[in-house]
Structure 1
Amino acid sequence: MKPDRLAGRIAVVAGATRGAGRGIAAALGEAGATVICTGRSSINGRGGSDYDRPETIEETAALVDELGGTGVAVQVDHLEPAQVAALADRIRSEYGHIDVLVNDIWGAEILKGPPPQWDRPIWELDIADGLRILRLGIDTHLITAHALLPLLVEQPGGLLVEMTDGTAEYNAANYRISVFYDAVKSAVNRLAFALGHELTPYGATAVAVTPGWLRSEIMLEHYGVTEETWRDADAPAGFAESESPRFVGRGIASIAADRDRARWHQRSVTAGELAREYGFTDLDGRQPDAWAGME
C-alpha cells in the first residue's frame, strides 16, 4: 500500500492501547491517516482499565506518528456514555467528521481465563465476571456506535469495522470458550450486520473482521518471547501460523483505501482472507492464515 493512500482521512480506533487495536492504528498510520487512538490506559493513569499493564494510548499515537500518520491519544472509558459523547464532541469540533471507525474494544482477556478454565458450564463460572465480559465486549461497542456513527455518516463512503474473534459462519457452528465469550464474539459479528443495515442509506460500509492467532503483547508474554523471537515459543503447532497485530491492521487499511469497499458490506471476514484479496503481507513478508481449514 502506498504510504499516502489514506492521507487526509480521519480514523478512530476505539481500543487502541495494545493488541489488534494498536496494530490497526499503526497500519492506518502507515497509510498516512490521522488516527485518534482511544482507550483507558494512559500516561495519566489506568482510567479504570481491567488490566495492570504498561502499554498506553500515547505509545500507540507515537507509533502512528513514527510510521507516517498523525496519532492523537484520547483517554476514554467506552463503558461511560458521557466520556464517549465528549469524545464525539471533540472530534466534531476539531475534524468535523470521521472516515473510519474501528470498534476494537475488548478488555476481558483476564476475565475469560486461561485454557484450563475454558469449556466449563455457566453454573461453574463467576456470574459477576461473566456479566462484566458482556459489558466490556458488547455494551462498549453499542455506546461507541451510538455516539460516533453520526460523525461517520456526515458524508458518504464511511467505514465501520467491528473487531471480533471468529467469523459469523465459524462462530455459528462452534462453541467459543464459555457461554459469555461465545455470546460476545457472536454478537459483535451480528453488530456489523445490524449496524450495516442502518448505515446503508448513508453510503457507509460495515464489516466484521477477525484476526487469526494474534501475537499480542499478552500472548507474547504468556509464551515468554518477543515479536523478534516468537518462533522460539514452546507453543502448539498452530502458533506457526500466528500473526502480528499489524497484519489485521493492514487488512483494515486496505479496505479503507478501496474505492469498492462496499463489496465487504455486512460481511464477516478474516485477516487471511483480506491478505489474499489485497496482496499485503505481515511484517515478516508472510501471509499467515490460522483460520485455513477451520471454516
Structure 2
Amino acid sequence: MSWLPDRDALRGRVAVVAGATRGAGRGIAAALGEAGATVICTGRSTATGNSASDYDRPETIEETAGLVTSLGGTGIPIRTDHLRSDEVRHLADRIRGEHGHIDVLVNNVWGAEVLKGGPADWNTPIWEHDLDAGLRILRLGVTTHLITSHHLLPLLIDRPGGLLVEVTDGTAAYNAGHYRISVFYDLAKVAVNRLAFSQGHELSPHDATAVAITPGWLRSEMMLDNYGVTEDDWREALRPGGDGAPPGFASSESPRYVGRAVAALAADPDRRRWNQQSVTSARLAREYGFTDIDGSRPDSWADLD
C-alpha cells in the first residue's frame, strides 16, 4: 500500500523551488504541495513561451504551480532566469513584499542535460570537449545556485529553522571516488555537494540547515520520452528484446520520491542533525518512512561502489 503524506505538515510554510519546471524540481514542488506548503515555482519555461529554457520541451512553471495547488498546497509561478542576478534580486524583492520570509529554499537549477550529451559523448577529455559548452554547464549548474543563494538566503535566515536543499547527482562520497561523465559535469556535481557543506557552515549560526540531496535514476519527463514510455507504463521499457532501458532502470524513481525526501526534511523539527550532509532520496526514505508514488522504496545507488 502506498504511503500517504501528512497534508498539513508544511501548512503555512513558504518554499521556493528554483528550477521547478520539470524533473526533480517539479517532483519536489509537488511533494511540498502534498504537505500543504506554499510553493513559489521558478524557471524560464512559461506558458507565454517568451522565455524558454535550453530545452525544446513543453513543460512550464505554470503547470508545476497548478500541480502543487491540485495536491493541496498553493503553487505560485514566477518566471526567473537564475543566471541573471537582477532577475533573482527582483524575485527576492517580490517574495519579501508578498510573503516576508522563506522557510525552504531548493536550489535545483540545472538545464544542462543537452550539453551533457548522451553515452556516446561521455568520457570526452577536456582538450577535446567543446569549451563553450563545458563552461555553460558550470554556469547553469553552479553559478545559478550561487546567485540564488546570495539573493534569497537573507529571507531564510531572518527566523530560526530555515532549510536549504542543494539538488545534485551523486553523494559527496560517491562522487569523490568516481569520474562523472566529463570534467565539466564532474566538477558541477561535486561543487553542488560542497555548496551544501559550505553554506551549512555559514547557516548554522542562524539555526538553519543545508543538505545536499541526490535522487537515484530519475524518471524525468525527458528520460521517459527517451524510452518511449510514460510514468504509468514505464516498466514497458524493461521488456527484453527491445531497444529500451537497461536492467538498472528497474530501480529508477519518480521525481516525487526525491520531492518527498525534501518535504520530510522540511517537516522534521530535528532537521539540523542533517546539516552539511550529502544524502540520497532512498536514505531519507528509510529514515522517514515515505515511499515513491507506487508504494516502493527504490535505491538505484545501492549496487554501486
- TM-score of the aligned structures, taking structure 1 as reference length: 0.99
Residue of structure 2 in register with 1:200 after alignment: 204
Cα distance in 2, alignment partners of residues 212 and 232 from structure 1: 19
1:93 equivalent among 93, 97, 100: 97
1:178 equivalent among 163, 179, 182: 182
Residue of structure 1 in register with 2:29 after alignment: 25
Letter matched to residue 215 of structure 1: R
Letter matched to residue 80 of structure 2: V
> Which structure 1 residue ranges, 5 or more long, are not aligned?
none
Deviation digits for residues 228-256 of structure 1 (CA, Å, limit 9, x no counterpart): 11001121110000000000000100000
Residue of structure 2 in register with 1:292 after alignment: 302
Deviation digits for residues 172-229 of structure 1 (CA, Å, limit 9, x no counterpart): 0000000000000000000000011110100000000000000000000000100011
Asked whether the equivalents of residues 247 and 282 of structure 1 are also in contact (C-alpha less than 8 Å), the reply is yes
Residue of structure 1 in register with 2:38 after alignment: 34
Does 1:274 pair with 2:284?
Answer: yes
Letter matched to residue 212 of structure 1: G
2:115 equivalent among 104, 111, 116: 111
Letter matched to residue 183 of structure 2: V
Residue of structure 2 in register with 1:187 after alignment: 191
Q: Shift in Å at residue 37 of structure 1?
A: 0.2
Letter matched to residue 123 of structure 2: D
Letter matched to residue 39 of structure 2: V
Percent of residue pairs bearing the same amino acid type:
70
Q: Shift in Å at residue 123 of structure 1?
A: 1.2
Cα distance in 1, alignment partners of residues 303 and 67 from structure 2: 34
Cα distance in 1, alignment partners of residues 50 and 271 from structure 2: 36
Q: Shift in Å at residue 294 of structure 1?
A: 2.0
Q: Shift in Å at residue 45 of structure 1?
A: 2.0
Q: Shift in Å at residue 62 of structure 1?
A: 0.1
- RMSD of the TM alignment (CA)? 0.7
Deviation digits for residues 27-57 of structure 1 (CA, Å, limit 9, x no counterpart): 0000000000000000122525111110000
Asked whether the equivalents of residues 48 and 77 of structure 1 are also in contact (C-alpha less than 8 Å), the reply is no
Asked whether the equivalents of residues 46 and 52 of structure 2 are also in contact (C-alpha less than 8 Å), the reply is no
Asked whether the equivalents of residues 35 and 71 of structure 1 are also in contact (C-alpha less than 8 Å), the reply is yes
Cα distance in 2, alignment partners of residues 188 and 27 from structure 1: 22
Asked whether the equivalents of residues 193 and 212 of structure 2 are also in contact (C-alpha less than 8 Å), the reply is yes
Does 1:240 pair with 2:250?
Answer: yes
Give the number of equivalent residue pairs.
295
Letter matched to residue 65 of structure 2: A
- TM-score of the aligned structures, taking structure 2 as reference length: 0.96
Residue of structure 1 in register with 2:62 after alignment: 58
Secondary structure of the corresponding residue to residue 124 of structure 1: coil
Cα distance in 2, alignment partners of residues 252 and 166 from structure 1: 16
Letter matched to residue 200 of structure 1: S
2:74 equivalent among 51, 70, 76: 70
Residue of structure 2 in register with 1:162 after alignment: 166
Residue of structure 1 in register with 2:222 after alignment: 218
Closer, same or farther in 2 for the Cα pair 1:46/1:186, shift >3 Å?
farther
User: Structure 1 residue runs of 4+, over 4 Å off?
Assistant: none
Secondary structure of the corresponding residue to residue 81 of structure 2: coil
1:150 equivalent among 137, 154, 162: 154
